[in-house]
Structure 1
Amino acid sequence: MISNVNRLSLAVGMVIATLVGQAAAAPAPSENATINLIRLLVEQGVLKQDKADKLIAQAQSEADQARKSASAAPAAVVAGVAASGPAAAPGDVRVQYVPAAVRDQIRDQVKAEVMATAKQENWAQPNTFPEWVSRISIDGDLRLRDESRYYSDSNSNEIVDFAKLNNNGPYDVNPNSSTSLPPLLNTREDRTNLFRLRARLGVKAEIAPEWTAGIRIGTGSDNNPVSTTQTLGGGFAKKDIWLDQGYLSWKPSDQLTLTGGRFTNPFFSTDMLYSGDLNFDGVAAIFDHKLNRDWGLFGTVGAFPVEYTNDTTSSNGFDKESSDNKWLYGAQIGAKWAVNDSNRLKAGLAYYRFDDIEGQRSSPCEPWAGAPGCDSDGTRAAFMQKGNTVFLLRDITPNPLNPATTPQPQFVGLASEFNLIDLNFVWDADLPQNFKLRSQANYIHNLGYDEGDMRKRSAGQIVNNLDSDGQIDSGANAWMAQFTLGNALELKKQGDWNLFAGYKYIQPDALPDGFNDSSFHLGGTNAKGYFLGGNYGLAKNVYATGRWLSSEAVYGAPFDIDVLQLEINTRF
């Protein structure tokens, strides 16, 4: 902020420049005019009253000195001054003529000094900052959630947690040598009032007119890809912060954006396939073109490394492996149509190919004899939730000295391939009385699902999703429908509200179980059921949400889960 001394110096300088500039065109200013000007500066807050009083006294003193100097001037000069205007009245001060060039020079000098001081002290343009600051923006959100999970008493209590088996394994599946149960899911004991937090903070920088870089950090109980929600408690221990996003974008035109790194989902999709918290690692090209007032086209293509396999079966073995990396390739095309002022349609068709995400049966191996691992261990999924059909990866050769009690330490892998067709449809309608309705539908079909291939790939070692006759009890389809009604579809201010309801049906192998919403059925596939709730705007960018999700297994043992979520959401 400019100091009082600088304020005073600049003000006096501008006053002097104004008086000099007026000298040639009007009679010399009187003492009363100077006093009026000083009083105006006091009213504007430039001068304080005590300093103004000193200036007035100084002006009166200088006027007296000017009168004495004028009376001593040569007669010719006095006559010349008298000829240029009326006779001086008592108390007037005469200022000699100043040429226009001199006045301009004084004005330019004062202006330069004022602007230099303004730039140095950053008050020439209020509320502005250095140039680089204007190219950086910060955004974030925070969510407080109370979550309760309710399980049916009739649920099976023998549902294996295959995700934990892979993470903590291998697990010995031979009952003659194993002394413990495999990891089991909680299926009967309720969990009420879990206080949970999600906090994310992002920074975006415009590097150049066509280049943008972004970084976002977020909370999370672990490094799983589908949730940045952190369960509180734990003895008040500090919470982890993860790199949620880090990307670089190039926008060569208004219609095309190329992005690489870790970034938000670039596809038009629902949380039945991809969780709202899921970010993609890789590269994507996003196209969005408006054809005319009513029609527009959009599309996305991308390649995303799901997992790079290790080049060794184990860290202490000679058994090196060739690269067998897992990739997701995606392509989507869609259209937007403004039917009229009250109705808007958006539809998209996508194809997703998950390369090498399925497991592979190993060659014969002997971990019981000291082998550090088997050659297909790396084909197990990097992250799973639950629902997909899985099989035992290792082909373990029995110990010929004691085959019945040979340990069988196992990992599991996905039995099906996943090549998905994903169709999405959204219709927004403006209704009478300021109501708005959104109708949304999503259908997914796995073209890679083939029960014959699954049996061949697994060599008969499938361990879930089997009926009483040992046949695969699964499917390749998933669909969802949802409706939202209220005075706003996106809540931004106090009083905005909406209600929503929907239904999901997800067969076990319709899609990979590791990437979808972690709230419905607590994540994964092999689930069907409804969800409903509402949102209400408490203030600008602050809204409350209540949500009830009720689900059960599509196939297999009974497994019913109900989830209640109460939230306060903020964004900035």
Structure 2
Amino acid sequence: MNFRLRRLAAMIALACAVSGQAVAQQSAATDSSTTRNLINLLVQNGVLTEAQAAALLEQATRDAAQAAEPVLQEGDVRVPYIPENVREEITGEVRDQVISQAIAENWAQPNTFPDWASRIRLDADVRVRSESRFFDDYNDPYLIDFQRFNEEGPQDISQQALATGAWPPFYNTREDRINLLRLRARFGFTADISEHWRAGLRVATGSDDNPVSTNQTLGGGLEKKDLWLDRGFISWLPTQHLAFTAGRFANPFVTTDMLYASDLNFDGIAATYAAAEDSELSLFGTLGAFPLEFTSDDSPSRSEFKTKNQDKWLFGAQLGSLWKMDSDNQLRAAAGYYHFDNISGERSDPCQPWFSDREAGYGCNTDWSRPAFLQKGNTLFVLRDITLDPLNPAATPMEQYVGLASEFQLVDLNLRWQTALFNDMTLQVTGHYVHNLAYDEDDMLTRSGSTQQGSTDGRVINNLDQQGNIRSGGDAWMLDLALGTAVEIRDAGQWNVQLGYKYIEPDALPDAYNDSTFHRGGTNAKGYYLGGAYGFHKRVYGQMRWMSSEEVYGAPLRVDILQLEVNARF
């Protein structure tokens, strides 16, 4: 028995030493209750005396102290032990403090950005297009490009000038153009300056500064391409649904490209209202005033008699509603009125540009009334009432500009119905009608200075039949059908197909502002278009479009256009 107890005592002594080292590494206490109880039990059984027990406890304490304070050598670093629960508590406190500071200062919260960046929304897209144009062999080869006529003018249209080969600029109407590569690139941003103020800026490509296209034809000796200021505006939003915008901004009206091209932006000021669309019936509306052209301060530049103020404006108003009939059907209807002020041409007082224009730049007193931009289709007349040179009347140069014969006060009605079909497909039907309330052929003749229908004075110089009568009209309409899994492609695998028809009489609307691709832009056009689009990847899609059109009245002009393109947004 004593032998077993002595052996147990030796084992206890060894356990005390080991326990002392372990306890020293884990805690500052070395005399745990378990060790004391074991030694007391040995004393009670007579294995150890009290003196031996005291000595054993003292030795265990010294060993534990030495284990807790190891000897440090030069270069050693002492790392105190921290229990796991304490480490977790400290880590949590530090993390909470850092995250609280990051949230307060908005610099390191997950999935957010600094304050200045979170208030800016970027908008950019790139489109690469192959465009082919096919012309009929029987098209009129003498279709005048009146935009260049004015831009390069005044043009001498006298018989002697034409006899010497000084022809006005003509459109290409017979020679096909295959696979023209064209680029459109746009980059802009909108910044929320405060709760009620917003500003935006965008630049875009473009072969020139015309208002209806940002396409840039590639080639040109690999020269660098131009960038233009496409938008720049400031908006005040007094409420969630009302906004006042000034500067140059996106078209604020709900319409189609039959009236306003998709690339067209507006200069001026506009007030827009849009109710929340979560209700069954919501209203929207727009009022706007847009300067089309300001009178030059110094025109004519070489005369002491300046042109009086003759600014040109567009005033527009529109009211519409969106009716969500049920979960699968919605109907959008809008009615608008657009008054184009002072854009029609004016016949001048009798003048002698042959005497002064080339040398002094005096011109005639209504040269200002020529439009800043034209496509084609509107009825035009020559502006200047030129008197003959008394010394050589037969050789008097007839240097002319042209202006619009009609005024334009447009009623605009458009309707769009959208319905959900089987297999997640959507059908969208759009109808659009425009009528020019100011269209009047007698007024057009009076404005141009012509005497009557069928006169041969030559003041109205297009949209005439062989008898000299005006062939025009004041109505335009279109119908468009779109079917697919998405009306606007945004994700891979989405697709749609489109079919439509347009009919645009010559003076139904100003030819300067509508789509520049159908019939190569402008009015006096009718025909169909069809196409389709498919999503290759998120925000990347391809599109094909075929357009076939011809004139409504006048000289023959048939044009077929094929467009193949890839679009990317980011």
TM-score by length of 1: 0.81
Paired AA for residue 562 in structure 1: D
Matched, 1:217 2:207: no
Matched with 1:419 is 409
Cα deviation, residue 443, structure 1 = 0.3
Matched with 1:244 is 230
Select 2:569's aligned residue among 542, 560, 571.
571
Matched with 2:449 is 459
Matched, 1:257 2:282: no
Select 1:410's aligned residue among 400, 403, 406.
400
8 Å CA contact retained: 1:312, 1:319: no
In structure 1, C-alpha distance between the alignment counterparts of 2:408 and 2:523, rounded to whole Å = 13
Matched, 1:174 2:158: yes
In structure 2, C-alpha distance between the alignment counterparts of 1:482 and 1:155, rounded to whole Å = 28
Matched with 1:147 is 131
In structure 1, C-alpha distance between the alignment counterparts of 2:568 and 2:137, rounded to whole Å = 37
Matched with 2:53 is none
Cα deviation, residue 254, structure 1 = 1.7
In structure 2, C-alpha distance between the alignment counterparts of 1:113 and 1:426, rounded to whole Å = 55
In structure 2, C-alpha distance between the alignment counterparts of 1:287 and 1:416, rounded to whole Å = 32
Matched, 1:329 2:319: no
8 Å CA contact retained: 1:416, 1:454: yes
Matched with 1:19 is none
8 Å CA contact retained: 2:499, 2:528: yes
List aligned pairs for 1:13-24, cutoff 5 A: none
Select 1:399's aligned residue among 364, 386, 389.
389
Paired AA for residue 380 in structure 2: V
CA spacing shift, 1:209–1:116, aligned 2, 3 Å: closer
Matched with 2:76 is none
Structure 1 gaps of 5+ residues are: 1-29, 34-58, 69-86, 95-105
> Identity percentage over the alignment?
53
Paired AA for residue 143 in structure 2: I
Cα deviation, residue 431, structure 1 = 1.0
Matched with 1:24 is none
Q: Secondary structure at the match of 1:568?
A: strand
Q: Secondary structure at the match of 2:462?
A: coil
Q: Which moved more, 1:272-281 or 1:253-262?
A: 253-262
Cα deviation, residue 108, structure 1 = 12
Matched, 1:133 2:117: yes
Select 2:148's aligned residue among 164, 168, 177.
164
Matched with 1:500 is 498
Number of residue pairs the alignment of both structures matches: 493
Q: Secondary structure at the match of 1:340?
A: coil
Cα deviation, residue 312, structure 1 = 3.9
8 Å CA contact retained: 1:149, 1:561: yes
Cα deviation, residue 313, structure 1 = 3.6
In structure 2, C-alpha distance between the alignment counterparts of 1:381 and 1:397, rounded to whole Å = 23
Matched, 1:306 2:292: yes
Select 2:425's aligned residue among 400, 425, 435.
435
Paired AA for residue 504 in structure 2: I
Larger radius of gyration: 2
Cα deviation, residue 114, structure 1 = 5.8
Q: Which moved more, 1:114-123 or 1:437-446?
A: 114-123
In structure 2, C-alpha distance between the alignment counterparts of 1:322 and 1:123, rounded to whole Å = 58
Matched with 1:26 is none
CA spacing shift, 1:246–1:121, aligned 2, 3 Å: closer
In structure 2, C-alpha distance between the alignment counterparts of 1:397 and 1:445, rounded to whole Å = 38
8 Å CA contact retained: 1:313, 1:377: no
Cα deviation, residue 322, structure 1 = 1.0
8 Å CA contact retained: 1:313, 1:375: no
Cα deviation, residue 428, structure 1 = 0.2
Cα deviation, residue 293, structure 1 = 2.8
Q: Secondary structure at the match of 2:423?
A: helix
User: Which runs of 4 or more aligned residues in structure 1 lie more than 6 Å from their structure 2 counterparts after TM superposition?
Assistant: 30-33, 106-113, 115-123
In structure 1, C-alpha distance between the alignment counterparts of 2:534 and 2:98, rounded to whole Å = 52
Cα deviation, residue 315, structure 1 = 1.8
Q: Secondary structure at the match of 1:353?
A: strand
List aligned pairs for 1:324-403, cutoff 5 A: 324-371=310-357, 372=361, 373-403=363-393
Q: Secondary structure at the match of 1:133?
A: helix
Cα deviation, residue 88, structure 1 = 11
In structure 2, C-alpha distance between the alignment counterparts of 1:514 and 1:348, rounded to whole Å = 23
Cα deviation, residue 530, structure 1 = 0.2
The Cα RMSD (Å) is 3.2
Matched, 1:231 2:217: yes
Cα deviation, residue 516, structure 1 = 0.3
CA spacing shift, 1:121–1:31, aligned 2, 3 Å: farther
Cα deviation, residue 307, structure 1 = 0.5
Cα deviation, residue 294, structure 1 = 1.1
8 Å CA contact retained: 2:21, 2:63: no
Paired AA for residue 257 in structure 2: D
Cα deviation, residue 452, structure 1 = 0.8
In structure 2, C-alpha distance between the alignment counterparts of 1:290 and 1:119, rounded to whole Å = 31
CA spacing shift, 1:120–1:236, aligned 2, 3 Å: farther
Paired AA for residue 417 in structure 1: E
Select 2:488's aligned residue among 476, 490, 493.
490
Q: Deviations over 1:166-215 (max 9, x none)?
A: 01111001012453111111000001110000000011111001111000
In structure 1, C-alpha distance between the alignment counterparts of 2:477 and 2:197, rounded to whole Å = 38
TM-score by length of 2: 0.81
Paired AA for residue 225 in structure 1: P
Cα deviation, residue 134, structure 1 = 1.2
Select 2:272's aligned residue among 286, 306, 311.
286
Cα deviation, residue 471, structure 1 = 1.0
8 Å CA contact retained: 2:344, 2:405: yes
CA spacing shift, 1:555–1:107, aligned 2, 3 Å: closer
8 Å CA contact retained: 2:99, 2:109: no
Q: Deviations over 1:417-439 (max 9, x none)?
A: 00000000000010122221000
Matched, 1:192 2:178: yes
Q: Secondary structure at the match of 2:168?
A: coil
CA spacing shift, 1:116–1:330, aligned 2, 3 Å: closer
Paired AA for residue 347 in structure 2: R
Paired AA for residue 373 in structure 2: F
Structure 2 gaps of 5+ residues are: 1-19, 31-60, 70-89, 451-458
In structure 1, C-alpha distance between the alignment counterparts of 2:98 and 2:335, rounded to whole Å = 62
In structure 2, C-alpha distance between the alignment counterparts of 1:487 and 1:133, rounded to whole Å = 34
CA spacing shift, 1:216–1:123, aligned 2, 3 Å: closer
Cα deviation, residue 500, structure 1 = 0.3
Select 2:469's aligned residue among 468, 471, 481.
471
CA spacing shift, 1:110–1:361, aligned 2, 3 Å: same
Paired AA for residue 254 in structure 2: F
Q: Secondary structure at the match of 1:370?
A: helix
In structure 2, C-alpha distance between the alignment counterparts of 1:114 and 1:358, rounded to whole Å = 68
8 Å CA contact retained: 1:265, 1:280: yes
CA spacing shift, 1:31–1:296, aligned 2, 3 Å: farther
In structure 1, C-alpha distance between the alignment counterparts of 2:424 and 2:266, rounded to whole Å = 37
Q: Secondary structure at the match of 1:455?
A: helix
Matched with 1:513 is 511
